[in-house]
Chain A
Amino acid sequence: MRRIFACLTLMLFLGFTCAAQKVTVHATDEPAAGVFRRIMEQSGMNFVYSSDILDGINVSVNARNLELKKVLGMMFHGTGISFRIKGNNVMLTRKKKSPSKLKSRQKQTAAAVRVPSPDATMLREIVVTSRLESPAVESSEIGARKITAEEVRNAPALFGEADVIKTLHLQPGISEGTEGMAGMHVHGGASDENLYMLDNVPIYQVNHFAGLFSAFNTDMIRYIDFFHSSVPAKYDGRLSSFLDVRTKNGSSEGHHGTGRLGLTSGAFNISGPIGKRTTYIAAIRRSWFDVLTIPALAIINSKSDDEDVRLRYYFMDLNGKVTHRITGRATAFASIYFGNDMLKSGTTDNTRSEYGYYEDESFRLHWGNLVAQGGLNFRFREELTGEFTAAFTRFFSGYRHDNLYKEIFPDISTTRRTEEHCANDINDWIFRADFDWYPIETSRVRFGVNYVRHSFQPGTTRRIYDFDDTRIESSDSTHIYRANEFNAYIEDDLAISKHWRINAGLHASLFAIDGKTHWGVAPRASVSYRPVDNWAVKAAYSRTSQYVHQLSQTYLSLPTDQWIPIAGNLKPQTADKIAAGVYWQSENSRFSASAEGYYRWMHNLIDYCDEYYLRPPLEVWNSRLTSGRGTAKGINIRFDKATGRLTGHVAYSLAWTDRTFAEKNCGHTYPARFDNRHTINVALGWDINTRVRLNAAWTGHSGNRFTLLTQSWEGPDIESGFQYRGEELPLQAAVNNYQLPFYHRLDLSCTVRNRRGYWTFGLYNAYNHTNTIAVRRSYSKKPPYAPVFQRVKMLPIIPSVSYTWQF
């Protein structure tokens, strides 16, 4: 560990020259919003402006490595727009022409506050809309979204805990999986086919508390890049989607922060400058569950004469980031994230008699991530920048189970002590160089290489048995899988003409493990045609490959889930996807609509054979896996309203997805578990006034598929030596043979601001429709207690409240 920090510190203080807020932008009569995005990517600045301020405004600028202030001056010269840089925000207003006009403008925009920055009280009367996402018609991307932290915070959430992944569930083509859990199934993919990154560094465990909460602290989020159809060549390693959570930089103008108290957790963050060149930001989030259980356990223990029960659970996230500007051409940064879940429990006999039995049992389960990285943004020439990063990402989980048993009698006393340890670890060292090059005004080339040293230790179990003077030790250790991964990519985003734009790239990868080398070449291409300014037609092709997969016995996100690399006879998973769409955007960018179609075919998918009991060791697990193929196809239709008092989107998806495995379901093709034929998502936000905002999200989709075991057979009793006593056992059925009822749910939240911060009130499942998540075999509650099938319904209405204090 010490080496990691030493390495990062060294990286941080290497003697590179550095640059402040200097950017390179070339644009000729382009919509301002598109230019903002490029500036934002280089400088990290947010643009904050009124919804109608850019109506019909195109800008031209030709700047090479100029200060942001000068570039903005060039852009807005003669447009009637003035700007002000404050912290990480560039705020745009119309230039004051006359008092009467200003008054009118203020009145018109006062109710359009969408971004509560730390300066929200000051800005309340002016602005504000932040459109970080690429206008749908301007780029050649399909299925790409840039989501702001504000969108995440505004989305109604379970227990009021804003959640990146659950926000994405409102996007078309994305299924949440099991209700309440932070699963994500993109275009029919599995939950382990999504690459989650924190500032471009992969993170393996993205959930707390079995998936109820996301590991991403929204206080640290600047924006989120999400790709699933046309994937930039930079990304590979998962089949379905790529989600890169970009964290904030510290404020350069004073110390600011927020503190939040919620029903289930609390959070605090602070950021500010350290001297003139350095900024910092730090955040912590911690749950309250262990505090909440104290009185309950006290009551239980006070009523129990036999034993005391201990139970403690909490999760915690720690983030820190330091950005340092050394000289004019480079910026250095270092960041760290530590997320941890801890469950401790135990029982102790509280009998106090001189003779008898005594037992003490304790259990400790922990899991989490550590991500540490350091890097440099360096400008070689005006048109070429590079980012060099060294990172370490670690996933860990483990448990320890201790049992002490004593028998104390006059003639004899015995002591039995057992210990059981288990550890799962993944350690990745990542070294990466990424470059961004503008060879000509209309072309942007991105290229880079990276090397990853993987170390997987999927399960080491050790048991120690002490019986008086006898000790027996047993270990069940799978060997450490070490793998070397190399990646190289290049892509060019080229504006061929005013009407045509093309993005073409290639990602090549090598994955060496156990003396075998797997390789893959993943071409990416997308093309856009704009017959008129506010219409675009796009098409894209992408290939993705995946060298690691997750073994899980449940749909929960548990620390016992194992990430393991491709090994044995298994081959890397690959997916090919073609997508096409039509896009429209109103002239003032207030409205937009899109219709996208896709077809995806997947190879070498990995799943359990029909006999899927996971038992150690790993070598045996591999033998229980089977390889197959799958397809997914569908259409996503979406309508957005981006500005005004009422904003939001309506989306509809029509989808099919299936799987075929030779050793599963007798080789017959079957529907995937989340083969939801119809999905409707509605997400709306309404600024009632400058202080109150109401958010609503309604989702409805065809029910998930479920393997319903409809028949029974009579089996022998093992204990009595194969005697037949009518053991009733479930008969194997066709996989996912039953469709659960239509799922629907409405979530509401309301944000009420005051001078110091804001209250957030939430209502999950507002009309209390408990949805069916499974069907179980049970018995009727009344005589004759006959066998019956029962729908299992989950998650009724759940209110929440939290207060966020801003300073």
Chain B
Amino acid sequence: MAILKHIIPIAIAALTASCYEDFTPKVDTQPVLCINALITAGETFDVHVSRTWRYDAPETDHSVNDANVIIYANGNPVGRDYIACQGDEIRIIVTSPTYGEAEATVTVPRAVQVDQPEWVTTVTSTWTGEDFGDGDSEWSAHFCHFTLDATLNVHDSADTPDYYRFSFDTYNDNDWSCDIIQGTLQYKQEPIFSEHIGQLESVMGAETDGFSLFSDRQFPGSRYPLHLQWREMSWMAHDTSEAIAPIGLRLSIASVSESYYKYALFCWHTYNGILIDLGDTGFGEPLWAYSNVSTGAGIVAAQAVTSCTIDLKDFITQTINHKSRQ
């Protein structure tokens, strides 16, 4: 809905008649500490410390050289080799003689239970290519375009508001003999990927555009089936006698902290929402970035990841055999 998405900017542009005037506001600013960290259950983590800067300042170095970082897990100080566990409350305190103090607290969420996905493929086209190679070792290969439909059941725990992030990538235990291209996930197909889009954004034609975070507010304490469809997927397999090794998609559902979700939501607003445009032009409240750090700068997030796979080995093998019989 490109046209709607641009109605307000066009209207604003018409009203403002391109009247933008550079200036330097006389406002005192005091840099503060910024903390960024992503804590994943079962792993060690890094804490990134920097500082804020005035937006129109020419400086580019925002590092902090005199910071002291202390990490507490469940109230106890821990070292750099600390491995976070699900349910841990982690508090990070940073002090700097130059920029003061900052702190943030986050609880590592518990991993969500997911069922093994149910899936089905639909072949859209296949063909065989021959005479590949450099002359010394020529070979032929099978190609296949297909769509993949999957249902992944997510079991929410009833006790707390939960936030999730869906992601996927490919895995391939084969060497050069077989490869897969993961295609495009149809985010529009799954309604829950659109639940964060408010009415105003809907009116303006905003779309998920890859935003795959969601909350449990529509299915608290119960099961939710994620409807996933990949299009324009393809695989290529060399015509060899070797059996195909495991190959497919790895699906991950990460239970993420509220801070992670809200920060991601702000990022979505930055690139897809209308509110930031409205704030920039005086028709709405200016939006600042979400932060759970005491200074308002930085994000300390946590996650626990659950993964499962869709193994396409058999599908590829059967398709090749079927093609060979033809």
- Check: B312 CB closer than 8 A to any chain A CB: no
Please indicate the chain B residues that have their CB under 8 angstroms from the CB of A558 in the complex: 200, 203
Assuming the contacts A465-B189, A474-B191, A712-B55, asked whether A773 and B282 have C-beta atoms less than 8 A apart, the reply is: yes
Structural contact, B281 and A774, CB atoms closer than 8 A? yes
| Cα distance A556–B25 in the bound complex, in angstroms | 26
Please give the number of chain B residues whose Cβ is less than 8 angstroms from any Cβ of chain A in the complex: 83
Structural contact, B23 and A789, CB atoms closer than 8 A? yes
Q: Which residues of B (44-87) have their CB < 8 Å from a CB of A?
A: 48, 50-56, 58, 62
Minimum Cβ distance to chain A for residue B34 (Å): 4
Please indicate the chain B residues that have their CB under 8 angstroms from the CB of A424 in the complex: 199
Please indicate the chain B residues that have their CB under 8 angstroms from the CB of A299 in the complex: none
Structural contact, A730 and B21, CB atoms closer than 8 A? no
| Cα distance A615–B199 in the bound complex, in angstroms | 8
Assuming the contacts A345-B3, A710-B27, A792-B282, asked whether A554 and B125 have C-beta atoms less than 8 A apart, the reply is: no
Structural contact, A730 and B20, CB atoms closer than 8 A? no
Interface-facing stretch out of B129-137, B235-243, B258-266, B317-325: B258-266
Q: Which residues of A (324-383) have their CB < 8 Å from a CB of B?
A: 345-347, 361, 363, 365
Smallest Cβ-Cβ distance to A796: which chain B residue: B17
Smallest Cβ-Cβ distance to A556: which chain B residue: B283
| Cα distance A559–B21 in the bound complex, in angstroms | 32
| Cα distance A311–B7 in the bound complex, in angstroms | 10
| Cα distance A383–B294 in the bound complex, in angstroms | 68
Please indicate the chain B residues that have their CB under 8 angstroms from the CB of A721 in the complex: 38
Interface-facing stretch out of B110-118, B175-183, B296-304: B296-304
Interface-facing stretch out of A103-111, A589-597, A780-788: A780-788
Assuming the contacts A713-B52, A715-B263, asked whether A790 and B23 have C-beta atoms less than 8 A apart, the reply is: yes
| Cα distance A776–B9 in the bound complex, in angstroms | 14
* Most-contacted residue by chain B among A180, A463, A616 (CB, 10 A): A616
- Check: B210 CB closer than 8 A to any chain A CB: yes
| Cα distance A345–B5 in the bound complex, in angstroms | 11
Per-residue 0/1 for B186-212: is the Cβ within 8 Å of any A Cβ (1 yes, 0 no)? 001111101110111011010000100
Structural contact, B192 and A474, CB atoms closer than 8 A? yes
Indicate which residue in A345, A615, A775, A777 contacts B4 across the interface (CB closer than 8 Å). A345
Structural contact, A708 and B3, CB atoms closer than 8 A? no
Please indicate the chain A residues that have their CB under 8 angstroms from the CB of B191 in the complex: 463, 465, 472, 474
Indicate which residue in B2, B266, B280 contacts A347 across the interface (CB closer than 8 Å). B2
Minimum Cβ distance to chain A for residue B311 (Å): 23
Per-residue 0/1 for B258-298: is the Cβ within 8 Å of any A Cβ (1 yes, 0 no)? 00001111110100000100111111111111110000111
Please indicate the chain B residues that have their CB under 8 angstroms from the CB of A411 in the complex: 124-125
Structural contact, B283 and A178, CB atoms closer than 8 A? yes
Structural contact, A777 and B17, CB atoms closer than 8 A? no
Q: Which residues of B (1-43) have their CB < 8 Å from a CB of A?
A: 1-4, 7, 11, 15-17, 19-25, 27, 29, 31-32, 34, 36, 38
- Check: B227 CB closer than 8 A to any chain A CB: yes
| Cα distance A715–B24 in the bound complex, in angstroms | 24
Structural contact, A711 and B264, CB atoms closer than 8 A? no
Minimum Cβ distance to chain A for residue B123 (Å): 9
| Cα distance A554–B21 in the bound complex, in angstroms | 23
Please indicate the chain B residues that have their CB under 8 angstroms from the CB of A780 in the complex: 22
Assuming the contacts A730-B287, A777-B280, asked whether A620 and B217 have C-beta atoms less than 8 A apart, the reply is: yes
- Check: B229 CB closer than 8 A to any chain A CB: yes
Structural contact, A707 and B285, CB atoms closer than 8 A? yes
- Check: B326 CB closer than 8 A to any chain A CB: no
* Most-contacted residue by chain B among A361, A411, A714 (CB, 10 A): A714
Minimum Cβ distance to chain A for residue B140 (Å): 21
- Check: A404 CB closer than 8 A to any chain B CB: no
- Check: B218 CB closer than 8 A to any chain A CB: yes
Structural contact, B284 and A553, CB atoms closer than 8 A? yes
Please indicate the chain B residues that have their CB under 8 angstroms from the CB of A613 in the complex: 198, 265-266, 269, 275
Per-residue 0/1 for A763-807: is the Cβ within 8 Å of any B Cβ (1 yes, 0 no)? 000000010011111101000001111111111100000000000
Smallest Cβ-Cβ distance to B146: which chain A residue: A412
Smallest Cβ-Cβ distance to B126: which chain A residue: A411
| Cα distance A556–B3 in the bound complex, in angstroms | 20
Structural contact, A730 and B288, CB atoms closer than 8 A? yes
- Check: A737 CB closer than 8 A to any chain B CB: yes
- Check: A742 CB closer than 8 A to any chain B CB: no
Assuming the contacts A363-B1, A399-B202, asked whether A554 and B278 have C-beta atoms less than 8 A apart, the reply is: yes
- Check: A125 CB closer than 8 A to any chain B CB: no
Q: Which residues of A (376-393) have their CB < 8 Å from a CB of B?
A: none
- Check: A418 CB closer than 8 A to any chain B CB: yes
Per-residue 0/1 for A718-742: is the Cβ within 8 Å of any B Cβ (1 yes, 0 no)? 1101101001011111000110000
Per-residue 0/1 for A453-476: is the Cβ within 8 Å of any B Cβ (1 yes, 0 no)? 000000101010101001010101
* Most-contacted residue by chain A among B24, B229, B263, B297 (CB, 10 A): B297
Q: Is the interface of B mostly helix, strand, loop or mixed?
A: mixed
Structural contact, A793 and B19, CB atoms closer than 8 A? yes
Assuming the contacts A554-B278, A614-B198, asked whether A778 and B301 have C-beta atoms less than 8 A apart, the reply is: no
Structural contact, B229 and A467, CB atoms closer than 8 A? yes
Please indicate the chain B residues that have their CB under 8 angstroms from the CB of A178 in the complex: 282-283
| Cα distance A363–B199 in the bound complex, in angstroms | 13
Minimum Cβ distance to chain B for residue A735 (Å): 9
Structural contact, A714 and B189, CB atoms closer than 8 A? no
- Check: A13 CB closer than 8 A to any chain B CB: no
Indicate which residue in B32, B38, B149, B282 contacts A794 across the interface (CB closer than 8 Å). B282
| Cα distance A732–B297 in the bound complex, in angstroms | 8
- Check: A422 CB closer than 8 A to any chain B CB: yes
Assuming the contacts A467-B229, A476-B195, asked whether A794 and B289 have C-beta atoms less than 8 A apart, the reply is: no
Structural contact, B265 and A711, CB atoms closer than 8 A? no
Structural contact, B289 and A729, CB atoms closer than 8 A? yes
Structural contact, A724 and B36, CB atoms closer than 8 A? yes
Structural contact, B19 and A311, CB atoms closer than 8 A? no
| Cα distance A736–B141 in the bound complex, in angstroms | 66
Structural contact, A472 and B199, CB atoms closer than 8 A? no
Please indicate the chain B residues that have their CB under 8 angstroms from the CB of A789 in the complex: 22-25, 55-56
Structural contact, A555 and B27, CB atoms closer than 8 A? no
Q: Which residues of A (542-582) have their CB < 8 Å from a CB of B?
A: 553-556, 558-560
Per-residue 0/1 for A631-654: is the Cβ within 8 Å of any B Cβ (1 yes, 0 no)? 000000000000000000000000
Q: Which residues of A (615-632) have their CB < 8 Å from a CB of B?
A: 615-617, 620
Structural contact, B15 and A791, CB atoms closer than 8 A? no
Structural contact, A465 and B290, CB atoms closer than 8 A? no
Assuming the contacts A422-B202, A715-B263, asked whether A732 and B291 have C-beta atoms less than 8 A apart, the reply is: yes
Indicate which residue in B194, B202, B281 contacts A792 across the interface (CB closer than 8 Å). B281
- Check: A420 CB closer than 8 A to any chain B CB: yes
Please indicate the chain B residues that have their CB under 8 angstroms from the CB of A732 in the complex: 288-289, 291, 296
- Check: A254 CB closer than 8 A to any chain B CB: no
- Check: A305 CB closer than 8 A to any chain B CB: no
Structural contact, A615 and B281, CB atoms closer than 8 A? no
Minimum Cβ distance to chain B for residue A660 (Å): 17
Please indicate the chain B residues that have their CB under 8 angstroms from the CB of A713 in the complex: 34, 50-53, 289, 291, 297-298
Structural contact, B198 and A616, CB atoms closer than 8 A? yes
Assuming the contacts A472-B227, A789-B55, A792-B281, asked whether A714 and B200 have C-beta atoms less than 8 A apart, the reply is: no
Nearest first, the 10 closest Cβ-Cβ pairs linking A and B are A774-B282, A474-B191, A793-B19, A729-B289, A773-B282, A713-B297, A732-B296, A722-B38, A776-B280, A554-B284
| Known pairs A411-B125, A731-B288 / 13 extra A-B pairs, C-beta < 8 Å | A347-B1, A347-B2, A461-B199, A463-B194, A465-B188, A472-B227, A554-B284, A556-B278, A709-B286, A732-B289, A733-B288, A776-B20, A794-B19
Instruction: Report A's interface with B, CB cutoff 8 A.
Output: 178, 180, 210, 309, 311, 345-347, 361, 363, 365, 399, 401, 409, 411-412, 416, 418, 420, 422, 424, 459, 461, 463, 465, 467, 470, 472, 474, 476, 553-556, 558-560, 611-617, 620, 706-716, 718-719, 721-722, 724, 727, 729-733, 737-738, 770, 773-778, 780, 786-796
Sample of 24 A–B contacts (CB below 8 Å)? A178-B282, A401-B202, A411-B124, A472-B227, A474-B192, A553-B285, A556-B278, A615-B198, A615-B265, A706-B282, A708-B25, A711-B297, A713-B291, A715-B263, A716-B299, A722-B36, A729-B289, A730-B55, A730-B289, A731-B296, A774-B282, A778-B20, A790-B20, A792-B281
